[in-house]
Amino acid sequence: MSKTTNSPNAPKTATLDDAASVSRPLARAFHDDPMMAFFFPDADTREETLARYFGTLFTRQYAQNAVCELTESAAAFWVPAEAAEKAAPDAGTIAELTAILGDRAPLFGEAVAASEAHTPKEPHWFLAVIGADPAAQGQGHGAALLRSGLAQADAAGLPVYLESSKESNLPFYAHFGFAVREELRLPGGGPKLWSMWREARRP
């Protein structure tokens, strides 16, 4: 861990040893997310499946090539501009995700392709995932992770891009300087997706 403090919501650098501490809060955070409910429709098994999903993303994709941070109840994955190509899923990651998604895998692939078609071309940091355990809501975990990543993007002089399928989260991101860039509907009867953009600020 590269950052140390006694505060429970202070961001720390996540390592592969933190896989469970990363995947569990994210699974709970995204349990009622419209996009995750679309890809994992069985509410009874969704949390366990999401833990496998986020665990795979973390261990195979983002822990290796992105900036991953966690608190006691939240986690975030950031992709710096220079890591965009390296942080893309490899064949093994895609195979694992396909197994987890089951018959929803084709829809997931279509959604990823639709999202990528709208990804900004200019250099930017990408907030791939951020979520806090609902049991710790209001304790500042998500805000602390967001501030940490934004500070790093600002230090690099680059804007930040994110996508959200939960409309109620848009004001939270707006509070930190994000503005809705585009609204699109995911294919196959999927939910809406809002892309948001924040210009770089001087550190």
pLDDT tens string, the chain, 203 residues long: the values are 444 456 778 999 999 999 999 999 999 999 999 999 999 999 999 999 999 999 999 999 999 889 999 999 999 999 999 998 887 888 889 999 999 999 999 999 999 999 888 899 999 999 999 999 999 988 999 999 999 999 999 999 999 999 999 999 999 999 999 999 999 999 999 999 999 999 999 87
Q: What is the pTM of this model?
A: 0.92
Vertex 70: Cα angle to 117 and 203 (nearest 5)? 70
Query: What separation in angstroms does the CA of 37 have from each of 46, 115, 135, 165?
Result: 8, 17, 19, 11
How far apart (Å, rounded) are the C-alpha atoms in residues 181 and 44? 34
Domains of the chain: 12-198 (3.40.630.30)
> What is the SS3 assignment for 125-151?
EEEEEEEECHHHCCCCHHHHHHHHHHH
Tell me how far CA of residue 179 lies from CA of 17, 49, 136, in angstroms: 35, 32, 26
